[in-house]
A and B are shown apart, each in its own frame.
Chain A
Amino acid sequence: MSPVSRIFLLWRRQKGWMLLGAALFVAALAAGLALMGASGRYIALSLLGGGVLVPAVLQYIGAARVVLRYLERVFTHEATFRALAGLRIWLFTGLARSAAGGLGYRRAGDALARLVNDVDALDGLFLRIFLPLLGAVLLTPVLAVLLWRAQPWALVVLLPFGFVAFYLPVLAARAAGQNGVRAGLAMSGLRSAALDALSGLREVKIYAAEGRMLAAVQAREAAYLAAQRELAGQTSALNALAYFVAQAGLLLAMLIGLAGAPVFAVIVVFVLITVFETVLGLPRAGLLYGQARAAAARVVQAATSPPQVPEPATPAPMPAGNAIAFEHVSFRYADDLPFVFENLSLQLPAGSRTAILGPSGAGKSTIAALLLKLVAPLRGQIRLGTADLAALPSEAVRHRIAYLGQTTHLFADTIRNNLLLGDPVASEEKLWAALEAAQLAQTIMSLPEGLDTWLGEGGQNLSGGQGRRLALARTLLSEAPILLLDEPCAGLDADTETEFMKVLNTATQGRTVLLIAHRLTGAEQLDRIWRLTGGMLMAAAG
């Protein structure tokens, strides 16, 4: 099934609204045709000295058309909003279920963000692509009958109609499809060049590279604009061609009308004016379709990719104990990649405090990923209490293990809502207790809006250390007996780091703690320290 049909299939829940919108669209179109036909007839007759009174039917159709157009706008928009909301939730749920949860864990947040643009690109699918196309398809037989009745060889006017309504949109879709890839690549080039220049400001200033960086961004921008210019050129040519062919169709109808029944000929011309007005937007719809098709493919692929670790068919009940044991675990990310570790064994007794150290790339974070069921061991077993982790539902496991990682995200929301992610039903006192434990209560209390202070994107308004402590407070709120901390101090300076570790010591009393870090500050209280190198765990002296 094509991705676009997949998305339409997804929208069947909004079927009622969409059918209503489509019905109103068709009714308004029919009223428009009837109005123009009737007007043409009335005008022709009055020019020939016929009826003088505006026929009542013309008034009714006119009024009906105005009302129908209004209702059509309201209901097609309602349907679109419902469909788009549904699509977003579907994408979110799909991403959460699939490997993307792990993807984000491996810092591909920006790739995910691009998907959001793709969803926005799909908002015209119903309103600007499907409905006009439906109109064109329904118009074809109506137009054919009308032309046939005028005179059989008037059917030749169907040629310009078909050219504008069906052929040009295909051309536009093809052009947009080819261009979309180029423009997309150029855009991500522009984005990363801008990000490079802006995140390396210090180096840029010190190495006097302002001009070079600006030039690099402008070169990418030029490439992006060139891709867009090409598409704009093609689109404008297609639009001009569509307009010209439509006008030629009208002229043809008028010339043919010279030989036919005068009044009927005028009716045909007036109806054709509306018909061409309706289909003139179709080349643009084709263009949108070319863009939407690629976007739909990415969205569908992202939302339906299978989870890295399949859920157990019949999940085992959650065990009582919280001891963790890695038993002869081997793992690699892909068949053609070397093993991260082979035959790794590790015991984490309930209530123990353990650190795993090692250089980046040694596989420390893979241990976290295995515990969180983002990936599964190739061989060996991981046990939680008495149960095999593979047999437990991942959501339940993640409720048991509170995770604080280097990419733990602070949401653009209030401090309260950021905390509630750890425990949605936490009371006010509990929130403050967690903040107290993370030594952040003083800071938050001094803010004018306290817990309801709005955090900017990525937790701006808080310093790096405060942000990490807020993430810690959130982690502490969850009553999970196991705490998994993966480089919780990444990006903090040494003093803040030491301070943070001291907080951690008191705040995590009584829980099982696994700390993953590239080195220790000396402030940590630990029962056991392991060093992970070359896929082997070795006891390290404190």
Chain B
Amino acid sequence: MSAETKAWVRAEQKRGKAAARLPVLLGAGQVALGIGQAWCAAYLLAAVLHLAQRGLLVALYATGFIAFAALRAAAGMQAERLGFERGAAARRRLRNTVLSTILALGPVGLRGKHSGELAATAVDRVEAMEGLHARWIPATALAVIGPALVGLVVLWVDWRAGAVLLGAGLLVPFAMAVAGIGAGVAAKRQFIALTRLQTRFLDRIRGISTIVLAGRAADEANALAAAARELRQRTMRVLRVAFLSSTALDLAAAAALVIIVLRFAGPLRHDHALAPTALFVLLLVPEFFAPLRAFSAVYADRMAAEAVADAFCALPAPPAQVPAAEIRSVAANGLTLAFEDVSFTWDRARGPVLEHLSFRAASGEILLLTGASGAGKSTVMDLILGFIAPDSGRVTINSVDLPELVPAARTKMLAWIGQKPMIFAGTIEENIRFARPEAAGEEVAEAIRNAQLSELIDALPEGIKTPLGEGGFGLSGGQAQRIAIARAFLKDAPLLLLDEPTAHLDPAVEREVLESIKRLATGRTVIMATHSAIAVEFARNSGAKRLDLDSLRHARKREVLA
């Protein structure tokens, strides 16, 4: 575990400790009530042995015993519920942090991270943090407070027995450490190995069709069995040592009990009045060791948290807040986009993607962006979208520098259609309204008509309320693209960015989709990046200007060579 991860876990623990005061107090209360119960039980047992007065006092102590038991049950229930609430609060907080960070970073900040992997952090890894907050943190505090409380009471009623108990209590961590020094370290490694095996199994199950279709199911089953066997053998080697720490607890408890019995056996022969005290102390022995047992039982919760901590630390820091520039927006009627001498480099080793690029797309113009993969088409898009900032030069909208615009105003000005639109789990209507949730019903209907989705929607029994996404109606590539077009219609932004909008469509569908795009483009400033010959031809017919990033680059090379 790296120093950074350790620090993160420590910070989480510190945060958790602050929130755990009430449950720890309740836990201490439970111990105190347990002491009260033992006091009552000791008197009752003495009465059974005819060593204490019977009669009214018995009734009194019996009432006390049951009342303490009821209070202790209630305190336990409350502590459990509070534990859950703290676990829930921690999960809410962590999930909010993870998601807000990712959402703020946007797609560019997370390059190379699989969305499934990010979702695993936001969902499963956050869940794995529950135990640390709900159980481990209060248990660590109580493992000290509980025995100390019991030990002090015993010390008070009989200092010799108290000394024995506290001595055993101090020996316990020592014995546990001796048994667990190797085991503790190894157990952590083991926990990681176990997590790996689970991941491996999960991965093999996810890819089971690949294995089956390669005809390798039997081989892979054998490999899984061998991996499980090896892990079991290693785990058991660790557990055999680790269980010794539980055994140390058992031994300490038994030894303390025997010594205390011996301590009282002599004096009791002469002094029967000592009987309730002796019984009280004996009944407190298990009470003394219970918080220690509870502590070792939740150790796995801490390890679970440590195992997932890396993923949280690996998240990039959220982007710095944009310095409070003068708040500006631009009039939305007519929009001119310009690049002035823009250069950008993703990776220094590979050289700049854009060098001194300048162009202008005036209001109502279509600018066709062509060039091979890697020529910088997507970089141009990302610059306009504000996901990245130019290394030098300016990107302007109506002569205003992009970073000077309030982000909300900038987003309002542009619509974007990519290769494959994201279809969210939700109805067709919700998916279209995604562009502008507050839109009126009539506006949505118009967007649907304009995107030529009416025919599809009318044919569906649930119409506009048909669910899409996982488990919902499966849209074809062209239909999904029409949803994206409807979104853009609904948003009605003056600047339209089209990033290979037809790359995944077959030619017949491509032509139809381009027709809808043509209608969408009317009256807007359009930047369209494409490879497709059909799309290029289509844009030409619509009077587009063309900017070929490849020939621009070659020209620059020639210039440099000349």
Residues A48 and B49 in contact, CB atoms below 8 Å apart: yes
The listed residue (A77, A191, A250, A255) touching B236 by CB distance below 8 A is: A77
Residues A207 and B92 in contact, CB atoms below 8 Å apart: no
Q: Does B357 contact A (CB under 8 A)?
A: no
A-B interface contact total, Cβ < 8 Å: 367
A82-B230 Cα distance, complex, nearest whole Å: 11
The listed residue (A43, A70, A95, A214) touching B247 by CB distance below 8 A is: A70
Residues A78 and B236 in contact, CB atoms below 8 Å apart: yes
Residues A258 and B58 in contact, CB atoms below 8 Å apart: yes
Known: A62-B254, A202-B107, A243-B73. A398 touches B214 (CB 8 A): yes
The listed residue (A269, A359, A412) touching B199 by CB distance below 8 A is: A412
CB distance from B360 to the nearest CB of A (A): 22
Q: Which residues of B contact A218 (CB under 8 A)?
A: 92, 95-96
Known: A48-B49, A62-B258, A89-B225. A233 touches B208 (CB 8 A): no
Q: Which residues of A contact B435 (CB under 8 A)?
A: 207
The listed residue (A43, A92, A372) touching B205 by CB distance below 8 A is: A92
Q: Which residues of A contact B119 (CB under 8 A)?
A: 191, 194-195, 198-199
Q: Does B279 contact A (CB under 8 A)?
A: yes
A251-B232 Cα distance, complex, nearest whole Å: 45
A66-B474 Cα distance, complex, nearest whole Å: 62
A210-B232 Cα distance, complex, nearest whole Å: 45
Q: Does B442 contact A (CB under 8 A)?
A: no
A396-B209 Cα distance, complex, nearest whole Å: 16
A207-B487 Cα distance, complex, nearest whole Å: 9
Q: Which residues of B contact A424 (CB under 8 A)?
A: 216, 219
Q: Does B268 contact A (CB under 8 A)?
A: yes
A455-B503 Cα distance, complex, nearest whole Å: 29
Residues B114 and A201 in contact, CB atoms below 8 Å apart: no
A400-B203 Cα distance, complex, nearest whole Å: 25
Q: Which residues of B contact A496 (CB under 8 A)?
A: 373
Q: Which residues of B contact A74 (CB under 8 A)?
A: 236, 239-240, 243
- Residue of B at shortest CB range from A273? B286
A92-B205 Cα distance, complex, nearest whole Å: 7
Known: A210-B103, A269-B45, A411-B203. A192 touches B425 (CB 8 A): yes
Known: A46-B268, A77-B236. A115 touches B425 (CB 8 A): no
A208-B478 Cα distance, complex, nearest whole Å: 25
Q: Which residues of B contact A258 (CB under 8 A)?
A: 47-48, 54, 58
- Residue of B at shortest CB range from A244? B73
B395-446 contacts to A (CB < 8 Å): 408, 411-412, 414-416, 418-419, 421-422, 424-425, 434-437
A372-B209 Cα distance, complex, nearest whole Å: 11
Q: Does B491 contact A (CB under 8 A)?
A: yes
A56-113 contacts to B (CB < 8 Å): 62, 65-66, 69-70, 73-74, 77-78, 81-82, 84-85, 88-89, 91-93, 95-97, 100-105, 109, 112-113
Known: A194-B119, A198-B115. A398 touches B269 (CB 8 A): no
CB distance from B530 to the nearest CB of A (A): 9
Known: A88-B224, A89-B221, A198-B122. A217 touches B372 (CB 8 A): no
Task: Give the residue among B73, B118, B212, B240 with the most A Cβ atoms within 10 A.
Answer: B212
Known: A47-B268, A398-B215. A495 touches B96 (CB 8 A): no
The listed residue (A201, A217, A265, A458) touching B106 by CB distance below 8 A is: A201
Residues A250 and B41 in contact, CB atoms below 8 Å apart: yes
The listed residue (A193, A203, A399) touching B422 by CB distance below 8 A is: A203
Residues A398 and B213 in contact, CB atoms below 8 Å apart: yes
The listed residue (B49, B81, B103, B416) touching A197 by CB distance below 8 A is: B103
- Residue of A at shortest CB range from B476? A360
Q: Which residues of B contact A537 (CB under 8 A)?
A: none
Q: Does A248 contact B (CB under 8 A)?
A: yes
Q: Which residues of B contact A197 (CB under 8 A)?
A: 99, 103
Q: Does B77 contact A (CB under 8 A)?
A: yes
Residues A235 and B80 in contact, CB atoms below 8 Å apart: yes
Q: Does B257 contact A (CB under 8 A)?
A: yes
Residues B44 and A254 in contact, CB atoms below 8 Å apart: yes
A66-B119 Cα distance, complex, nearest whole Å: 46
Q: Does B244 contact A (CB under 8 A)?
A: yes
Q: Which residues of A contact B80 (CB under 8 A)?
A: 232, 235-236, 239
Q: Which residues of A contact B247 (CB under 8 A)?
A: 66, 69-70
CB distance from A408 to the nearest CB of B (A): 5
A219-237 contacts to B (CB < 8 Å): 221, 225, 228-229, 232-233, 235-237
A191-B206 Cα distance, complex, nearest whole Å: 16
Residues A495 and B373 in contact, CB atoms below 8 Å apart: yes
Residues A104 and B206 in contact, CB atoms below 8 Å apart: yes
Task: Give the residue among A47, A62, A120, A358 with the most B Cβ atoms within 10 A.
Answer: A47
A225-B95 Cα distance, complex, nearest whole Å: 13
A69-B246 Cα distance, complex, nearest whole Å: 9
Q: Which residues of B contact A263 (CB under 8 A)?
A: 49
Residues B213 and A457 in contact, CB atoms below 8 Å apart: no
Q: Does B104 contact A (CB under 8 A)?
A: yes
Interchain Cβ contacts under 8 Å between A and B, 7 examples:
A39-B257, A202-B418, A254-B48, A258-B48, A269-B48, A409-B209, A421-B210
Q: A74-B240, A92-B221 are in contact. List 12 more A-B contacts (CB 8 A).
A: A39-B257, A54-B258, A74-B236, A77-B236, A81-B228, A89-B224, A101-B213, A205-B107, A225-B91, A240-B73, A460-B113, A518-B505
